Amino acid sequence: MNDWAADLDNADPVLEQALADLEREKQKLREVSKLWEESTTTVRAKDNSFSMTFDGRGELTDLSFQGSKYRSLPPAQLAHQILEALHQGRNEAHAKVEKIMGTGSATDPDFAGVAGGKVDPMEMMNSLLGPMLGGVDGTGANAPNSSVKKSD
């Protein structure tokens, strides 16, 4: 039986780099998983009439009104403040993920884009695994719209 670790010593530098990148991303994903499970973000309305709490994924988990000040607000103003706090809370929760995952270069996967529904997860996985496998769709071809090109 072959010792794959010994074979890895003779591996192509591109494969070695891809494996190192994959391991680094796996560690970041472990940290993000922990953040999603344990983190909360709380934001307050500018006038302190209510607060909102979000889980690690940026989903609203609690809305608490302080006192009765919110009752005296015109409905349109209250609605505006609720939407403003909702956007702020989600943005702060997603910023925590971005801080862990990083978005430093054009080649980094856009995890915030995936979390926000702006990036196709298959495209992101292909950017990580594509150099090793020639694509993750099982055919050796790259995923549609992928920025990773298969080398000959």
* One-character DSSP codes across 39-89: -EEEEE-TTSSEEEEEETTS-EEEEEE-TTGGGGS-HHHHHHHHHHHHHHH
What pLDDT sits at residue 8?
Answer: 54
Spell out the domain ranges in the chain. Answer: 13-119
Please write down the long-range contacts of 67-74, taking CB distance under 8 Å and 24 or more positions apart.
Answer: 73/49
Whether the CB-CB separation of 101 and 110 falls below 8 Å is answered with no
Architecture of domain 13-119: 2-Layer Sandwich (3.30)
Summarised one tens digit per residue, pLDDT across range 41-73 is 999 999 999 999 999 999 999 999 999 999 999
Residue at token pair 């706090």: 85
Nearest to 58 by CA among 43, 47, 48, 80: 43
Is the model's pLDDT at 137 over the cut of 90? no
What pLDDT sits at residue 151?
Answer: 44
Q: Which helix (H) or strand (E) holds 97?
A: helix 75-101
Please state, in angstroms and rounded to a whole number, the distance separating the CA atoms of residues 74 and 82.
12
What pLDDT sits at residue 145?
Answer: 47
What pLDDT sits at residue 101?
Answer: 82
Is the model's pLDDT at 32 over the cut of 70? yes
What pLDDT sits at residue 24?
Answer: 87
Tokens of 78: 């209250």
What pLDDT sits at residue 142?
Answer: 45
The more confidently predicted of residues 6 and 89 is 89
What pLDDT sits at residue 4?
Answer: 56
What pLDDT sits at residue 135?
Answer: 47
Please state, in angstroms and rounded to a whole number, the distance separating the CA atoms of residues 63 and 80.
15
The answer to which of 51-55, 82-86, 107-111, 127-131 has the lowest mean pLDDT is: 107-111
Summarised one tens digit per residue, pLDDT across range 90-107 is 999 999 988 888 764 445
